[in-house]
Amino acid sequence: MDSHDSASTDEEGPHGIYVNRLPQTDALEGQTVGAALGTDVVTLRFADGTVAWSHRDGPSGTDAYDAVEVADGTFFVDIWRRSHDEREAWTLIADRTSGRALSVLTTVGEHERPGRPRVGQTITAGVLLGPGGEPAATAPPTETRDLLGKRLFNEYSPEIVFEHVYLNSRLCAWQCLRGEQPGHGDCDDASYWRLSEGRYVFTFRERLIPCASVLFLDLTALRSTGKFLSIEEDGRIRNGGIGARLHMLADARYPCGYAPV
């Protein structure tokens, strides 16, 4: 079931960014999940640790998958689409309670782009489909400003801790508080979506290194579950899981008329 690169274990060991990730689930085995995403319709059929995925007017394939039930009835499904293109990983967050769905297609660009992220993301909001193809929700997830001004302490393990500061609707700042490079930080392109009360999807695309991430943030349970797609130093593409325990450090309130963009 695991779509992550099991050959890369350094960060998934006892001191890595995988330690505080919620466990995988096989609850989707034997099931079919459909979603209307913009003008596209996607179908996922889960069986024997793999998922057969297809787009109505696009590619299809069968790959291993990673599924985590991040909240009651809400699944974080990540598929490294190596059967189609090793440079692509597709994440679907499916909220079966509300019927909402969010798709994030993360793609490694063929060439470096100075000053711009090499690993890009296409985000599409939609709704899940019922057994007869009927929409399971009346409205898809929406972009949100709820996270702006918040500072989150992300404890991936006792040895790896990062701080995230959600600056504005386009940027997130981060720094390493504990790990291999304490004090190292940057400001990267970000996107924020609201799935339900207290539950968000946060994505960011790094500029200095070829890496992009997708994170489901549960500010009620104070947990994050996510993934990253990156190019390693040896040129190998890696798709890996991450997860953290969260602590709210601050929640800024701006004077009237001075809120960030």
Q: For the segment 181-205, what is each residue's pLDDT rounded down to a tens digit?
A: 999 999 999 999 999 999 999 999 9
Q: What is the pLDDT of residue 114?
A: 80
Neighbours of 76 (CB within 10 A): 26
Task: Please say if the pLDDT value at position 4 is more than 80.
Answer: no
What pLDDT does 112 receive? 85
pLDDT over 70 for what percent of the chain? 95
- Domain locations in the chain? 10-251
Question: Is pLDDT larger for residue 2 or for residue 89?
Answer: 89
pLDDT at 193: 99
| Residue 170 binned pLDDT confidence (cut-offs 50, 70, 90) | very high
Q: Report pLDDT for 57.
A: 87
What pLDDT, on the 0 to 100 scale, is given for residue 15? 59
Structure tokens at 128: 């899940």
pLDDT of 21 above 90? yes
Under a CB-based contact definition with an 8 Å cutoff, are residues 5 and 239 in contact? Answer: yes
pLDDT tens digit sequence for 41-75: 999 999 999 999 999 989 999 999 999 999 999 99
* Structure confidence by residue, pLDDT tens digits, 96-154: 999 999 999 999 998 888 878 999 999 999 999 999 899 999 999 999 999 999 999 99
Written as six digits, the tokens of 107 are: 């793609």
Of 8 and 189, more confident: 189
Cα distances from 78 to residues 104, 146, 153, in angstroms, run 9, 25, 24
Give the per-residue SS3 of the chain: CCCCCCCCCHHHCCCCCCCCCCCCCCCCCCCEEEEEECCEEEEEEEECCEEEEEECCCCEEEEECEEEEEECCEEEEEEECCCCCCCEEEEEEEECCCCEEEEEEEEECCCCCCCCCCEEEEEEEEEEECCCCCECCCCCCEECCCCCCEEEEEEEECCEEEEEEECCCCEEEEEEEECCCCCCEEEEEEEEEEEECCEEEEEEECCCCCEEEEEEEECCCCEEEEEEEEECCCCCEEEEEEEEEEEEEEECCCCCCCCCC
> Pick the residue with more confidence: 231 or 16?
231
Query: Average per-residue pLDDT in the chain?
Result: 93
Q: Does position 8 have pLDDT exceeding 70, yes or no?
A: no
Q: What is the reported pLDDT for 3?
A: 56
pTM exceeds 0.85: yes
Alpha carbons 171 and 176: distance in angstroms, whole number: 17
